[in-house]
Chains A and B, each alone.
Chain A
C-alpha cells in the first residue's frame, strides 16, 4: 500500500480534528482551494465554521490569532501559505509565540502548530517560494521545528506535534508532497519526533531531514553497491535537535556529514557539527557539510539543481571523508 505526504497530512488533520473537539484549523484559502497544498478540502463542511477558519491574506492577524486561540486553551493548527511568508509574521513568531511561555511564566501547554510548505520543488518558483527557513528559526529559543521526510512520518509527526505543548513550526517539503511512500515505512510504534537511525553502517554518520533525507537515501544505495555502509540519521525534529542520537552514532563512525538544503552560513548543519565537536564524548575526527551556497534560488530549475546538494555530491563527500584518516 502506498500513500503520499499530501494525503497523509490530510489524514493526520482529520485524526486531530475528530479526536479533539477543541482543535481548530485556520489558514488562507483553507476551504476554497484546500489551502496552499490542496490538503484541507472539505474540512469546513465537516467540522464547521467555528473550528475551520479561512482567513484573508493577513499573516500578522492569522499568526496572532493562532497564538490567541492557543493561550485560550484550544489546540491550534494554522497553515501559513508558504514558509517564505512566515517572515511576514516575524514578530508574532519570534517575539510573541516563542517568548510567551517565558515572559508570562506560562504553566500550561501551548498547543500551537504552524504548518507550511517549504523548500524547493525545482519548478520555476524563484527565491521567495523555495526557502528552507530552518536556519533562521534555529536561532529562536522557544520554538520547535519539525521536518518530516516521508508520508508515514509526516502523519505521525503531525499528530504528535499537536500534543507536544510548545509552538511548532511544521515544514512540509514541497518536493515530497506527491512522492509515493510505502505506508509501513516509518517508525513502527515509537514516537517519531525524537528521530531515529534509518540505516546502519560504520563508515560515516550522515544527518539529513526533509527532502535531503530522500537525496541521501538515494546516495546510500550507490554507496552500498560499492561496499560503503553509512549510519543515516533522520532527526525529524530539527529544533531542539536530538544531539545524543548524532553523538552516539559518531562514537561508532568518527565521521560526520550533514546534508542541509538551507544556505551555508548560519545553517543547522554548521550548528550540528560544532555541537558534535564541542559536546560529543567521542567527537568526529573528520566532518563535512553540504549546503545550498550563500546565494538565492534561481527561477531556472536547471540552475537551481546545480546548487542543491545532490546524490552525487553526497557520494563524493562520503568518499572524501573516508579518504581522510580517522
Chain B
C-alpha cells in the first residue's frame, strides 16, 4: 500500500480521536452533545473504510463513524454542528449525528431505527445499476443492527442481483451491553453469513493497513460489477456505549486493559514509524488534529438552534400548507 493512503487514514483516526476527547470534555462542562456515541478503539475501521471510498460512492454510516464521514467530504465544522445539534450541522439541528446528510457526497442520511439500513443499501445500489455508474455502496452496521432480519433479506437480494454493495460488519464486542457471543450463534458476525455466495472476510479491525487494503479491494470489486461482499472488522469499543452508560456493570477492567494495549492509533503510530516517519512528525500531526477540532468547535458552538418552522416546512415536499 502507498504510504500516502496510510497517512491519510492516520490523520482521519487522529481527528476522530480528537472529536471524542472534545465531545466528552464538552459534555463534562455541561454542553449538550445529543446522541453522541464514542468511536475510541474503532478508528481504524472507520478511517480504513473512509480512504477506500470515493466521493461518488454511497455511504450508509454508523453514528460513530466520524472518520468515514470526514473522508467522504462532510466538513469538520458541519460534523461538529451535527454533534452539537444546532443549525450549523448538515441537517440544521433536526437530525444531528444520527442523520448526517450530504447527498452530493453520497451520504443520503441514516435510518433512525436499527435494521432498515440494508434495504436502503439495495435501493442506492440499484441507482448505480440503472445509471451504469462506476460506484459502490458501503453499508456499515454493528452487532445490534446485524441481528435484525432485514440484513438477511437484503444480503439475499444483493447476491441474487449482484449489487455493488460492501457490507461492513463492525464487531466491537458489544451490542450496547450484550457481548457478541450472546447474540450470534457462531460467536462472531460473519460466521453465519458465510453461506451467501459472496466473499465473506473477517479481519483485525484495529489494523489500519488490513482494513484499508481489504475495504479498497472489495469496493473496487463491487464497482467492477462483481457483486457484494462482507467484511467483518473485529475491534473493541473502549468507551461505554454512550455518555450515560456505565460499562463497569458488564465489562471487567482486565479485558479493557488488554483492549487498550491493542488500540488502533498506537498501532498505526508504530507502523508509520517503521515506514520511516519521524516521532516529531507524528506528534505534530496529533497536535494539529486537536487544533483543527478545537477550531471547528469554536466556529459552531453557540450556533443557532433548530428552527421550529422547519419542522412544518419539511414534513411534505410542498411545505406547510399541506401539513394537516
Contact = CB atoms under 8 A, between A and B. Distances in A.
Nearest to B99: A103
B135 to A, nearest CB: 10
A73 B127 contact: yes
A102 B130 contact: no
Interface string A89-104: 0011001100111111
Contact of B160 (A56, A91, A104, A144): A56
Interface in B279-324: 310-311, 314-318, 322-324
Interface stretch (A105-113, A124-132, A180-188, A317-325): A105-113
Nearest to B125: A68
A240 interface: yes
Nearest to B117: A64
Q: Which range contains the number of B residues in contact with the other chain? A: 35 or more
A105 B108 CA distance: 11
20 contacts: A58-B153, A58-B157, A60-B119, A64-B116, A64-B120, A64-B150, A65-B154, A69-B124, A69-B127, A72-B58, A91-B113, A92-B116, A92-B119, A95-B112, A95-B113, A101-B317, A103-B99, A105-B95, A141-B315, A240-B324
Q: Which 3 A-B pairs have the closest CB atoms?
A: A64-B119, A68-B123, A72-B127
B121 interface: yes
A95 B111 contact: yes
Q: Which range contains the number of A residues in contact with the other chain? A: 35 or more
A235 B116 CA distance: 33
Contact of B324 (A61, A67, A103, A239): A239
A81 to B, nearest CB: 14
Contacts of A144: 316
A193 to B, nearest CB: 11
A141 B156 contact: no
Nearest to A243: B324
Given A60-B153, A71-B109, A65 B119 contact: yes
Nearest to A60: B150
A106 B94 CA distance: 11
A67 B119 contact: yes
Contacts of A66: 119, 123
B118 interface: yes
Nearest to B161: A53
Contact of A72 (B95, B124, B160, B161): B124
Interface string A65-84: 11111111110100000000
B130 A65 contact: no
B206 interface: no
B113 A74 contact: no
Interface in B120-173: 120-131, 149-150, 153-154, 156-157, 160-161
Contact of A165 (B103, B109, B318): B318
A69 B126 contact: yes
Contact of A74 (B116, B121, B130): B130
- Highest count of chain B CB atoms <10 Å: which of A53, A55, A65, A142: A65
B16 interface: no
- Highest count of chain A CB atoms <10 Å: which of B95, B120, B122, B314: B120
Contact of A104 (B109, B116, B120): B109
A24 B154 contact: no
A241 interface: yes
B91 interface: yes
B240 interface: no
B160 A96 contact: no
B123 A72 contact: yes
Contact of B108 (A58, A72, A109): A72
Interface string A238-263: 01110000000000000000000000
A68 B119 contact: yes
B179 interface: no
A118 interface: no
B62 interface: no
Given A50-B129, A96-B113, A96-B116, A68 B121 contact: yes
B115 interface: yes
B228 to A, nearest CB: 13
A304 interface: no
